[in-house]
A and B are shown apart, each in its own frame.
Chain A
């Protein structure tokens, strides 16, 4: 013990600020929300223990809970693959050795930094407004756009486009992955007369699989937690007709509009379980399609 302390004490001293933050701002709220999820808590009066009632109500009676799951799953299932395909396509273009590639990288990365911001959500609202930029362009070419944001058939798609537009960070990781693929493999394939499609599926995809997997897991978690865009564009309520009722937006509404902090905490834990389950499934399937070069044999 003494030896351990002498050796590691300085490290822990320097780690203290982070540890304090970690316990106070992460671990404590997480445990508190687990407790609150078994209570009825209206913020002002002390929480009242209700056992599993919140969870029971959610699964048996709460049709908005199911609706929010449906919206969130649609968003994840469509936006994540679309974003990854787009990111990979752009990364492969940039990998061709264009001039001033640094500039393009920065340019394409920019939306990833801005995309989650309130300002961009408000900008999106303006773009897709009935009299906004998108419809003005359509009208210039003689068409006419719909009410993108207030028609529940289209509203979710504007958010999917917003998500895909933030392809910068998976793109950068793809780019790094592409650079690490040995060029001699492609050269050898060319000598064997393989075309670009063959090279893509026989060399790029298998060698890039770990990176694809990494991006998939990260983007999936990100998509499940997506909040600000839907919140701003729907005016905080998930409107129109709950078509933008993301799980997180519903959770926010239950907590801050209707004072049901206990119920909202329960929703939060259900989201955690859902994300954990999907991540576990992804890891399990990865055994069959992701191969790490250094564990061969």
Chain B
């Protein structure tokens, strides 16, 4: 064993480090070219196909501008975006969601659009509410590309096999958590499939519930507005539904927190009801055979509205744009151009441009038609849009999901978990503020 001494040790280790350095030196070449702009969005197969079609239409109509599309799944989108912000090479046009968007605006990653309005950007047909939602401190930062609301999607075949249809023991626009339990158990008994997803760790449902209890997530001065009783009641309601056997087992749900659409209970056949955003109905239906039905999120017996109608997504002009005019021209087409908006359809939500909505109406069928019907039926049953959430809201949401997994697995009692969550939420907001 004479050949292996201390010096040899170092050589071998240094050699390994050296080859790693050489590999990492082979980076991507940077090149900038005028009139060539990038559009970056998070998507699903259906949305990606539609968006690439839109880019094709735009590029044909504007030979002097070349739009290049980039897409990722939701989970990876913001990681990539943050890396690009740090590197100063964000795409020119980026997609944002209501909520996280405000953190990016506050940090200066997104440019205001006011100077283009009336010029290359036509907002004359845009809904006032949609413009409001993209405005911060009097400046317009974001164009809504679809209105959205919370939607419970149910598998109509499984519901029918259990003898449940709208109007027959089931009011899709006024059902309660007790109904969810009753229907969930009925579906399980008739079909063997769990009747509903378990929303213990679903912050979206939780935020609805907070509204239904007449409280707000954030008070006017940015503190967390939820009480211990509300958190405990929410987790108790879902524990009751779970213990009745209406949902998949707790550990199964624990593995699906924050899952992509392709892993949703309703898509994989593990449950008959999943809870999501209304614009996702089109994408989810595209992954399934059975027809999907639409319902509001369940409510308490008091029926105080807890859902909001809000823009699902926005297109924004990034700080790193290389050609703002070309980018805004493209954004203008994205929300106004008849051919482009027809290619987009309702996949990102109900369009905010009145003319576009009118033009689309006769062409709709299947899931898109269900979406429009859903939107007509929830009128007057939603609550007003609260002010933008404060910085740190995203972390509060993830903390909720993390602690709720302990509840799902029966590892903590509900009261302790609720105390823990509220304590952490306050700490997060203090640190962010």
Contacts and interface: CB of A to CB of B under 8 A. Distances in A.
Given A18-B18, A239-B405, A150 B255 contact: yes
A26 interface: yes
Most buried by B among A44, A237, A255: A44
Contacts of B12: 214
A151 interface: yes
Most chain A CB inside 10 Å of its own CB: which residue of B21, B104, B109, B405: B405
Interface residues of A, number: 46
Nearest to B319: A44
B252 A130 contact: yes
Interface residues of B, number: 46
A181 interface: yes
Contacts of A43: 82, 85-86, 107
Contact of A259 (B103, B256, B258, B398): B103
Contacts, number: 122
B22 interface: yes
Interface in A34-51: 42-45
A150 B78 CA distance: 24
A26 B18 CA distance: 11
B394 interface: yes
B125 interface: no
Interface stretch (A2-10, A109-117, A204-212): A204-212
A257 B103 CA distance: 12
Contact of A180 (B4, B6, B108): B4
Contacts of B249: 147
Contact of B109 (A44, A152, A237): A44
Nearest to A208: B1
Given A44-B109, A45-B108, A180 B406 contact: no
Interface string B1-31: 1111110010011000010011011000000
A21 B3 CA distance: 31
A25 interface: yes
B395 A257 contact: yes
A240 B255 contact: yes
Contacts of B25: 17-18, 20-21, 25
A293 B249 CA distance: 60
A210 B1 contact: yes
A261 B87 CA distance: 13
Interface in A280-297: 292-295
Contacts of A258: 394-395
B251 interface: yes
A235 B259 CA distance: 8
A21 B101 CA distance: 36
B85 A242 contact: no
B78 to A, nearest CB: 8
Given A21-B22, A150-B254, A294-B2, A257 B409 contact: no
Given A21-B25, A147-B251, A293 B2 contact: yes
A256 interface: yes
B402 A239 contact: yes
A20 B251 CA distance: 51
B257 interface: yes
A201 to B, nearest CB: 16
Nearest to B81: A256
A224 B362 CA distance: 60
A22 B75 CA distance: 32
Interface string A208-228: 101100100010000000000
Contact of A218 (B4, B6, B13, B319): B13
A241 B255 contact: no
B176 to A, nearest CB: 29
A102 B4 CA distance: 23
B1 A180 contact: yes
B402 A242 contact: yes
A261 B13 CA distance: 30
Contacts of B411: 152, 241
A150 B104 CA distance: 32
A147 B252 contact: yes
B83 interface: yes
Contact of A257 (B6, B86, B319, B398): B398
Contacts of B83: 256
Interface string B386-428: 0000000011001001100110010100000000000000010
Interface in B99-124: 103-104, 107-109
Contacts of A293: 1-2
A149 interface: yes
B79 interface: yes
Contacts of B252: 130, 147, 150
Contacts of B402: 237, 239, 241-242
Contacts of A242: 402
A25 B258 contact: no
A150 B251 contact: yes
Interface string B61-103: 0000000000000010011001101100000000000000001
Interface in A249-269: 255-259, 261
A118 B2 CA distance: 39
A235 B13 contact: no
A130 B21 contact: no
A25 B35 CA distance: 31
A292 B13 contact: no
A241 B405 contact: yes
Contacts of B86: 43, 261
A235 B201 CA distance: 15
Contacts of B255: 129-130, 147, 149-150, 240
Nearest to B27: A25
A211 B4 contact: yes
A275 to B, nearest CB: 13
A45 B2 contact: no
A259 B82 CA distance: 8
Contact of A256 (B5, B18, B82, B108): B82
Nearest to A245: B402
A295 B5 contact: yes
Given A177-B4, A261-B86, A256 B405 contact: no
B21 A21 contact: yes
9 contacts: A22-B21, A45-B108, A147-B255, A210-B5, A235-B258, A236-B75, A256-B78, A292-B1, A292-B6
Enumerate the 8 nearest inter-chain pairs by beta-carbon distance, A residue then B residue, closest first: A150-B255, A21-B25, A147-B251, A44-B107, A150-B254, A43-B86, A256-B79, A43-B85
Given A44-B85, A180-B1, 5 more contacts: A44-B109, A150-B255, A181-B1, A235-B75, A241-B405
